[in-house]
Amino acid sequence: MTESIQSDTGRSSSGTDDFNAKIVEEYRANGGKLGGMFAGSDLLLLHHTGEKCGTGRISPLAYQMVGESYAVFASRAGSPANPDWLRNVVANPKTIIEIGMETVPVTARVAEPAERDVIWERQKKRVPRFAEYERKAAPRKIPVVVLDRC
């Protein structure tokens, strides 16, 4: 993951949103497959509604399967602040994700500490870049959000 893919500022005029929009377009055009630096990455598209403005947004995020659920990571590429999508899914947890060609209704929940630590450690082993995000974000502990199928 690059900083741009992990950073969802929620501002439609930002370069990040333009970058994310291109990823969403490629993802949808290719059945969930991406090329370039994201080739082979496990990505999903998280739909979320702005907590304050009510605007619908889509964030491409790295994920990890946890049983029948999906875990996503509020890393924001190691920023000291959480990404806006986290606040949005806490406020509006019933949402959908796109994974490949499938649209899945989910309920988002922030993983409890013990569950979070297991998932987070596994993610750092799967994608070592997440260890760097953890180092950069300190002392912020990066939240893990579990998306349970409805």
Give Cα separations from 41 to 10, 14, 20, 21, 82 (angstroms).
Answer: 23, 24, 15, 17, 22
Q: What is the pLDDT of residues 64-90, one digit of tens each?
A: 999 999 999 999 999 999 999 999 999
Where residue 13 falls among pLDDT bands split at 50, 70, 90?
very low
Angle at 72 (CA atoms; ends 68, 74), nearest 5 degrees: 160
At position 88, the amino acid (one-letter code) is N
7 near 76, Cβ under 8 Å? yes
Superfamily of domain 3-149: Electron Transport, Fmn-binding Protein; Chain A (2.30.110.10)
Instruction: Give the model's pLDDT for residue 15.
Output: 61
Instruction: Give the model's pLDDT for residue 75.
Output: 96
Report d(CA 52, CA 46) in Å as an integer. Answer: 18
Q: Do β-strands 102-110 and 43-49 pair in parallel, antiparallel, or remain unpaired?
A: unpaired
> Domains of the chain: which residue ranges?
3-149
Report d(CA 57, CA 17) in Å as an integer. Answer: 10
Q: What is the pLDDT of residues 121-140, one digit of tens each?
A: 999 999 999 999 999 999 99
| CB-facing half-sphere around the CA of 22: CA atoms within 13 A | 10
Instruction: Give the model's pLDDT for residue 16.
Output: 67
> pTM for the full model?
0.85
My answer on whether omega of the bond before 139 falls inside 30° of 0, hence cis, is yes
